[in-house]
Structure 1
Amino acid sequence: MPSRRSMTPADLRRVVVVEELDLSSDGRLAVVARRSIQGDRLLGHLFALRLDGRSCRGRRRSPARPSSGADRRYAT
């Protein structure tokens, strides 16, 4: 069995976190919020996914903020 190594800062930069998942009231759409690190920036990504198997409606990206996100603006 290979020996395990300690995590490094580079390992932490590759971690992607799913922050939230919500469904539309009609159950046709799921919105997933995920957080990742790019360079020295923490980014938030929103994915709107159709649950009928058709293609994704799009992705929006914004610098992630520790606040509630009420004032967050997204750029495509």
Structure 2
Amino acid sequence: MCLAVSSIAVAGTDAGQFSVTPGSCGSLTPTLAPSGSCTVNVAFSPTADGARSAALRITLNSASHPVLDLPLRGTGFRYG
């Protein structure tokens, strides 16, 4: 059975400091064959100094794990 991903997004307190793009997935709603894989790209663009955190939230068609939250962390600082 294929795994249908209904969304890949950034969620949480500092979600606006991170962004996600499809990478090899081709979209943020891929369907993966058994043993298949693809990548997404996550970027951190802080707007202020200090620690920031969010989650990469992947919503699936899986009854056992319908939502996966992967932690994202970054620290912003100024040069000079």
TM-score between the two structures when normalised by the length of structure 1: 0.30
CA radius of gyration, larger in = 1
Q: TM-score, normalised by structure 2?
A: 0.29
Q: As a proportion of its length, which structure holds more strand? A: 2
Bigger RCO of structures 1 and 2 (CA < 8 A, at least 6 apart): 2
